[in-house]
Structure 1
Amino acid sequence: MLDPATVSPNLTDRGRIPSVLRFTTELIAWVATPWALAEHSVVLAVLSVIVLIGLPTVFSTPGDKKQTLIPVPGIATIALVVLQLAAAVISSWLAWQSWLAILVSVLALLTVLAELPRWRWLLHAPGRSAVGGGGESAGKIA
């Protein structure tokens, strides 16, 4: 059984809908951001995808994903999600028609609402080991 103190709602049944909403918004960010940047710079468009996909892949809070490459505090994971949401919304307004950008904005708002339990957990996540990560904690925050 998973200990709710050391495991994010992201890895439980409660995390399914927020994960689907978050992933859908991430996909939109991965498409809309290079689309919006391509007319200005192909290099920036490519770099945006590397940043939007690479940072969350490499940096995560232990206990929030099944595998952690480089452990970071929960606030950093929240910031990465906010980056994805902002990229999706801003880029959709720059690259696409208004009706589609409105849908993306609504999706981002629903994602934020669904993510709140995870974000609360991330803000109070157990202590993190500076080395190793992998979901193991060095201690618990009281």
Structure 2
Amino acid sequence: MIQSIVHIALVVRDYDEAIEFYTKKLHFTLVEDTYQPEQDKRWVVVSPPGSVGTTILLAKASKPEQEAFIGNQSGGRVFLFLNTDDFWRDYDDMISKGIEFVRAPKEQSYGIVAVFKDLYGNQWDLLQLKEEHPLMQRMK
């Protein structure tokens, strides 16, 4: 059996501001932006540069109960994990673009990690896994 997680939905306030943040500040690729007239919404998908795995579906909150979760989809915990091939390059670039880091870079047994917030306050790990990490071994 072969299965994979294709998209993770991230609730956003506005499609265009979310696209701007992810493509300009994080260098993500805009994979798809399709208007769906029957539902009066857009299907917006972004992906980290060079990624061939899971993508992020930017899902605009359409109800008051959804709006309450913008920026807090995981109850204040780190929610998403962005692995990079060059931690310090990406960390310095993100700092230069005004991205807020809430935990400074730290060397861990699995690699280098720091926690940043996206434009809505969701917490992300920026990390560079060590070559011997099991996930890195799976990617070879």
TM-score in terms of structure 2 length: 0.30
Higher strand share: 2
TM-score in terms of structure 1 length: 0.29
Higher helix share: 1
Q: Which is bigger in relative contact order (C-alpha 8 A, separation at least 6)?
A: 1
